[in-house]
Structure 1
Amino acid sequence: MAPPSAAGTLRIGVDVGGTNTDAVAMSGNEVAGWAKAVTTADVTAGIVTAVRSLLAGDDLPTAEIGAVMIGTTHFTNALVEGRRLVPTAVVRLGLPATKGIPPFIDWPDRLRGVLGDHVYLCHGGHEFDGRLITPIDHGELRAAARDIASKGVRSVAVASVFSPVDDSYEHEAQEVLLDEVPELDISLSSEIGRLGLLERENAAIVNACLRPLAERTVAGLVEALVQLGLDCPLHVSQNDGTLMSADFARRYPVATFASGPTNSMRGAAFLSGIRDGVVIDVGGSTSDIGVLVHGFPREASTAVSVAGVRTNFRMPDVLSLGLGGGSLVRSANGAAAGVTVGPDSVGYELTERALVFGGAQLTATDVATAAGMAEIGDANTVDDLDGTLVGDAVDRMQDMLATAVEQMKTSADPVPVVVVGGGGVLVRDGLAGASETIRPDHFSVASAIGAAIAQVGAETDRVYSMAAMTRDEAMAEARSVTAQRAVEAGADSSTVEITDVDEIPLTYLPSNAIRVRVKAVGDLALDPANGSTQRGMST
């Protein structure tokens, strides 16, 4: 699984985590250097510090850096916290259908309050086989645009019934809305989500409310490169293990959701050589457990809830535990019985509050040091810990992880388990359910490595009616369109390959329709002329 870079060209991978910002330089298949820095509130300062430390510490020539790849949880955190979001209007095309279940119906109240109750139900939409529900009404849309503008709202999500089958009405609505109010910033559901109106509409709303933050964040990332004196392309990690351009990240910030665990899994696959197995990524506050399938993260097969909002855009199938290096360890009444680990954590304050760093809090890192599993900080500070307490805490951590691995496996057979992340020292060899426990070199910066080696990808997800074409014609069209989108996204056309094809016969529909999902990936094209225009996440 060689990284997609030309020989002799350095690629910088950066992972902006909740506690640390990691930076790694890759030269071909080799790690040329790595560095860590504390994550900062503005993201930019932490990236600059980490990369500057990397370049200085390993004496890397900036002239040989061909690209910088950054993975960040900035947008996910904004939605979870309900901060830095903007009021967003929803225009749904479907009347007279869909009135019974309006937009925002299942959203948490705190998020609905931030985004506002700006809902516009309009005529339009299609049936599953492409037949019209009702014609689109331009006058209705223009009135909606004027009302949206009068409220000072600029972010708009447009969702049409069955737009993955026919997205023409969403694009037509976008043109009408922008013609009436050119300042609107519009997200189309057909470019973001999959089948399922509410979940796809939710995904478009989430994307729309994050667009202004994405503009500021990407501008900050570009500024970081300027401060570092790097004149090279900037790419951002997507949540399927592939890359997107900075411009694409501005338009589709939701594509970054869960990119951290995804990068960790890709990095784990690269470092260990394991293409099928389980990955445990242990951070400062949580452990993310995912499954590798052919070297890529297994995708979630059901709707995924993010901050209480049901969505259906592509997301890795990840189980998160409240177990990390900063997790607090407690015992009932000071005794070893009833020991607990997490879910609360000291997080980025680990180096101030943990015992091994002179603090007063007993953390998982202290326990691992006392048990001889790690050499962190001042081991003398944990010499007096009760041995039974330490042993029970270690056993508790292993039980939590082993249970999570069993939950993610699809069979009872043991599987390879790759351990990565800065808190990977918490995992003992011989974990229950594992055929082998692998902790590869550079495991603590696997997420940054995953960003550095990432490829460019594209996806198609749509319904084809067999009344209009044969199955073979539909499959060929889906493959061709997906491969072309990968090239448009920046992939080298000579390296593009189809990695996944799912065909689902929709036997309950009268037109003998099929749903086809195709994914293509290719190496990043170093020649910028080889495609730079990115389209939607899926169609």
Structure 2
Amino acid sequence: MRLGLGIDTGGTYTDSVILDLDTKEIISRSKALTTHDDLLKGIVDSIDGLRSHENIQLVSLSTTLATNSVVEGKGCRVGLLTIGKRIVPDLDVSSIGFVDGEFDMRGNIVTELDEMSATNLLNDMKGKVDSIAICGYLSVRYPEHENRLKGLASEILDVPVVCAHDLTSKLGFKERLNTAVMNASLIPEIIGLISSVKDALVEFDIDAPLMIVKGDGSVMSSDVAMERPIDTIMSGPASSLTGAMNVPGVTDAMVIDIGGTTTDIGMIQNGFVHTLDEGASICGHRTRVHAADICTYGLGGDTGMELVDKRIVFSGRRSIPYCVASSRWPSIHDRIMERRMVSIDDCIFFIHSNGKGPLSLNELKGEMGLSDASLGAMESSGSLIRISLTPTDILAAEGRYGRYDSTASTVMVELIASFNSMTADELIHLAKGSVKGRLLQCIYDYTYHSDDEPMEVFGRVGQAERYKKADITTIIGVGAPSGSWLPDVVDAIGYDLIIPDDFDVRNAVGAICSRVTEYVEIIIRAAPNDFSPDPQCRVYASDDSFYFNGKDEAIEFAKSEGIRIATQKAKASGANEIEIMMKIEEHNIDDKFHGECLFRGADIIVKAFGDPSFGSK
């Protein structure tokens, strides 16, 4: 029996499962609260809750680290060198330098690389940066200048160096610039997390390869992840899609993952995760990151809810449910059970990050004199942790969720209702209708994508009417709250709903069931002045380009080179028994004068995939 350990760090919980990799049977499962200030602690707590840690041959982790770092504007100090164009990225960098050096579209050197200027710029960055990003104009076709500067940077600075052409083969200077900077900013953090996870596995006597889930739902070795952390953007949501793909008999479906913090919506089509070919937009920054077509919405089991004029308003911010807080802090439990609240502002509590508290909203405003703006800033920084009404409390008060102190939720629902001249049943009915309506909005937004009021936090490049065009009539629900909220929602739109077994840990199942997948794009372009039926061609592959006297010879070389490079990348990412898929997109023009179709180029996309290599146990 081959056993694998899948770990998913969600916004609220870190889930772990031990899976029989042959039968896909869950042998053991565990949930622990995610510790945002130290992700490793939540991972260790989750692994510790498993019945056994023996005979594990593979470990796979989906992590929110990269996504959270981008969303929160964190990351290390990045030094940036751009070559050929004086363009600045959308993201902050600590140091930036512009270096002369340029190729034209045919690969001729227009301006020689100014290595002396680059050397001076790099020397000026000593002690000021933790990593270097290098992006040159047309470097996806002609990477020579980027590679030369990488060698210089490695000699002068003892920090990781990232070249844009190593991350994507697609054109788009600004998008590649953002991608390189983002990747460089994440390297130290992902190295720290992976090193810590490996240390934790040693503590549990787990000697197995460690894989990391990528944003397209596939996995890569931890060594590759430390070089390309940007590929882990959307890692967690992508795991829900691969977890849903393991539902027998379903090849096309919309997948809705309702977690504690967010609702993530994506699609599987023809048994594969639907991805963004043009690259994901992350927090408004266009990139060339290959990721699943997922939208993330600020609605989850722990989303804060307020009652304003007998209308539910969602804060979009995570709040600790009363039932959870009452179980964790005796002082909260005592306040709730003794019903000390005399106004609605007494029903919102705060715990300081140093553990002090609780204090009610009234106490913070009255005794401490804090304004709404100050409170908001302290919450955003993590100094204050809010405890308030959430969808989880509504389920607990209704008797449908009993994991924590459901009595606390019942009491608080009664009090909040009374302060608003309502009964508890009326508040529960109103809240349930509001959650249902919000989920329907999310589905509609994902399906048809309105530019007028975009609801998502990040992760979309407007692909309108995906749902309608795909003719999908099935929704798969995963995530702990999905079984409670989705049946009524899906009934309202008339589609089939599947809530799979172990839906509350499907992300962790998806992490350990994912395959290694690598893509390579080889570009063929006909000679600009050769309009013959069989033109001379240039093939752009990896760090080099090659000339051929005819298109057939060029295509055959491009196919074999694409297979070689993709296979090499898949092996480096930890794949075993690699399979190949290939797509050829020719570019032709009509010669109306001669009545011929003339070849002008082709894009050859090679996909290499396989199961991860297992440990020796």
> Structure 1 370/414 Cα, relative in aligned 2: closer, same or farther at 3 Å?
farther
Amino acid in the other structure paired with 2:27: A
Cα deviation digits, residues 281-310 of structure 1 (max 9, x gap): 101121000011233321124453323432
8 Å Cα contact 1:402/1:433 also seen in 2 = no
8 Å Cα contact 1:187/1:204 also seen in 2 = yes
8 Å Cα contact 1:496/1:520 also seen in 2 = yes
Alignment match, 1:284: 260
- Pair 1:352 & 2:352 matched: no
Cα deviation digits, residues 104-155 of structure 1 (max 9, x gap): 2x33xxxx2xx32x22222334344434343323323322222222x53241
Alignment match, 1:531: none
In the alignment, structure 1 segments of 5+ residues that lack a partner are 1-7, 529-539
Q: Which of 369, 372, 394 is the matching residue for 1:367?
A: 394
Cα deviation digits, residues 309-351 of structure 1 (max 9, x gap): 3211212111122211112334432x3xx43445233158871
> Structure 1 272/352 Cα, relative in aligned 2: closer, same or farther at 3 Å?
farther
- Spell out the pairing of 1:34-433 with structure 2 (5 A cutoff): 34-40=29-35, 41-54=37-50, 56=51, 60=52, 62=54, 64-83=55-74, 85-94=75-84, 98-99=85-86, 102-104=87-89, 106-107=90-91, 112=92, 115-116=93-94, 118-149=95-126, 152-179=128-155, 181-193=156-168, 194-333=170-309, 335=310, 338-346=311-319, 351-352=324-325, 360=347, 361-369=388-396, 377=404, 378=406, 381=411, 384-386=424-426, 388-390=429-431, 392-404=433-445, 406-407=447-448, 408-411=466-469, 413-424=471-482, 425-429=484-488, 430-433=490-493
Alignment match, 1:481: 565
Cα deviation digits, residues 68-105 of structure 1 (max 9, x gap): 1111111221222223x2221111122xxx23xx222x
8 Å Cα contact 1:284/1:348 also seen in 2 = no
User: Match of 2:291, SS?
Assistant: coil
User: Match of 2:8, SS?
Assistant: strand
Distance 1:256 1:311 in 2: 13
User: Match of 1:312, SS?
Assistant: coil
- Pair 1:17 & 2:44 matched: no
Alignment match, 1:4: none
Distance 1:442 1:66 in 2: 22
Q: Which of 1, 9, 28 is the matching residue for 1:33?
A: 28
Amino acid in the other structure paired with 1:426: W
Amino acid in the other structure paired with 2:393: D
8 Å Cα contact 1:341/1:393 also seen in 2 = no
Alignment match, 1:512: 600
Q: Which of 495, 498, 517 is the matching residue for 1:457?
A: 517
Give TM-score, length-normalised by structure 1.
0.83
Shift of residue 370, structure 1, vs aligned partner: 5.4
Task: Give the structure, 1 or 2, with the largest relative contact order (CA under 8 Å, sep 6 or more).
Answer: 1
> Structure 1 86/103 Cα, relative in aligned 2: closer, same or farther at 3 Å?
same
Distance 1:327 1:406 in 2: 23
8 Å Cα contact 1:373/1:426 also seen in 2 = no
Root-mean-square deviation over aligned CA pairs: 2.9
Cα deviation digits, residues 35-86 of structure 1 (max 9, x gap): 00111222222111111211x3xxx351x11011111111221222223x22
User: Match of 2:276, SS?
Assistant: coil
Shift of residue 188, structure 1, vs aligned partner: 0.8
8 Å Cα contact 1:266/1:295 also seen in 2 = no
Amino acid in the other structure paired with 2:487: R
User: Match of 2:247, SS?
Assistant: helix
Give TM-score, length-normalised by structure 2.
0.73
Distance 1:350 1:298 in 2: 37
